[in-house]
Amino acid sequence: MSSSTTQAPVARAVASTGGQGGDTRESLSAAGRVGWLFITPNLVGFLAFTLLPLLAAIAIAFTSWNVVSGYSGITFVGLANFAEALGDGALWAAVGRTLLYAGIGVPATMMGGLGLAMLLNRDIAGRTLLRVVFFLPHVVSSVAIGLVWLLLLNPDSGPVNAGLRAIGIDAPPAWLVSETWGLPSLVLIAVWSAIGYNAVIYLSALQALPVDLYEAAAIDGANAFRRFTTVTWPALMPTTTFLAITMTISQSQGFGLITFLTQGGPGEATTTVSYFMYQQGFQFYRFGYAAAVGMISFVGVLLLTSFFWRFQKGRGLYT
């Protein structure tokens, strides 16, 4: 700081004459300027692309507006969008499907991940390579994954159904194009993609567990099941909570895979809340309604995750 070196004699002079405030205030404001200079690029972007859109999303939820009416056609409608949402049977059906989708998908992913992690935590051959294999779907584009599953699950010629027919199942499911199996197929693909990620998170938590706990449990004569329920599971509670929250958010808010694979169909069999919102906003251009649905869905997820948070309190090993 060249400025402070040139000012120093003056400041000393001021200090020696009994005035103290001048120097500190001045250097504070100089430091303040530096702070603002450093933060400004990010802050401008944050205001423009996060905070402003967030406030706008809240405001839009109270308006009626579509792309045809233009910006002058935005009208304030109060709670009308929220009232419409409450009475919208299609939305509530989508809520049910989302609860089913996440309600099966999230626990299945987490339990599968924990099982894999416990397996990988043992002394097994080729552990590093296995970790790469299980984790790979997580780093790969969801569209590439969707594309391969679209072909694998093709009802007529796909290898999955060819295999099922070979073992004597004459009428295998039509998977993604079936009313009954559409949603389970999507859950299957989502679980398949995320299980390795969950396994890796659980694995790193398992590796951080203190060995002496297990030794103590072994001395007490606890069998493998007791060791799991009394030591492993409580000690993993923070990890479980973290995964429950992030998985719930990602599985309930994402609409990419559904848009690509089923477009919410057949019929509305795979229309979840997030796809419903995408449809209202970007296919029907009902921006006001889409924003209201998005807010309702977000508040719902928030309530759900705060429930997880409360549930785990007092059940962990270290709380």
Report 119-158 residues binding another protein (CB under 8 A).
Answer: 119-120, 122-126, 128, 130-152, 154, 156-158
φ, ψ of residue 210 in degrees (nearest 5): -70, 135
CB nearer another protein, residue 234 or residue 254? 254
Contacting another protein within 28-47 (CB under 8 A): 28, 31-36, 38-39, 41-46
Among 113, 184, 264, 294, binds another protein (CB under 8 A): 294
- Widest distance between CA atoms in the chain: 100
> Which run of H or E residues covers position 75?
strand 75-76
Q: How far is the CB of 209 from another protein (least distance, A)?
A: 16
Name which of residues 197 to 236 contact another protein (CB under 8 A): 197, 200-201, 204
| Binding test (CB under 8 A) with another protein, winner from 114, 116, 231, 244 | 116
Segment contacting another protein (CB under 8 A): 7-15, 16-24, 89-97, 250-258?
250-258
Give me the least distance between CB of 93 and another protein, in Å please: 20
Cα distances from 264 to residues 96, 103, 182, 288, in angstroms, run: 14, 18, 9, 21
Q: Should residue 91 be labelled a site residue for another protein when binding is judged by CB under 8 A?
A: no
50 touches 43 (CB < 8 A): no
# residues contacting another protein (CB under 8 A): 96
Q: Which stretch binds another protein (CB under 8 A): 18-26, 79-87, 215-223, 241-249?
A: 241-249
- Is residue 246 a contact point for another protein (CB under 8 A)? yes
* Nearest distance in Å: CB 146, another protein: 8
Task: Indicate the residue type of 66.
Answer: N
Query: Residue 240 or residue 274: which is nearer to another protein going by CB?
Result: 274
Q: How far is CA 129 from the centre of its chain?
A: 27
Nearest-approach distance from CB 290 to another protein, in angstroms: 6
Binding residue for another protein (CB under 8 A) from 52, 83, 86, 216?
52
- Rg of the chain (C-alpha set): 28
Contacts by 232-236, CB closer than 8 A, 24 or more apart: 232/118, 232/206, 234/315, 234/316, 234/317, 235/205, 235/209, 235/316, 235/317, 235/318, 236/114, 236/202, 236/205, 236/206, 236/209
Q: Quote the CA–CA distance of 264 and 283 in Å, as a whole number.
A: 12
- Least CB distance to another protein at residue 17 (A): 25
Under the binding rule (CB under 8 A), the answer on residue 106 touching another protein is: no
Nearest Cα neighbor of 288 from 55, 53, 82 is: 82
Rounded to an integer, what distance in angstroms lies between the CA atom of residue 287 and that of residue 74? 10
How far is 58 from 53, CA to CA, in rounded Å?
9
Using the contact rule CB under 8 A, the part of the chain among 93-101, 207-215, 295-303, 307-315 near another protein is 295-303
In the list 192, 228, 233, 308, the residue contacting another protein (rule: CB under 8 A) is: 192
**Nearest CB to another protein, comparing residues 104 and 130:** 130
Asked if residue 288 lies in contact with residue 64, where contact means CB atoms within 8 angstroms, the answer is: yes
Binding residue for another protein, selected from 98, 274, 279, 312, defined by CB under 8 A? 274
Establish if 7 lies at the interface with another protein (CB under 8 A): no
Residue 291 touches another protein, criterion: CB under 8 A: yes
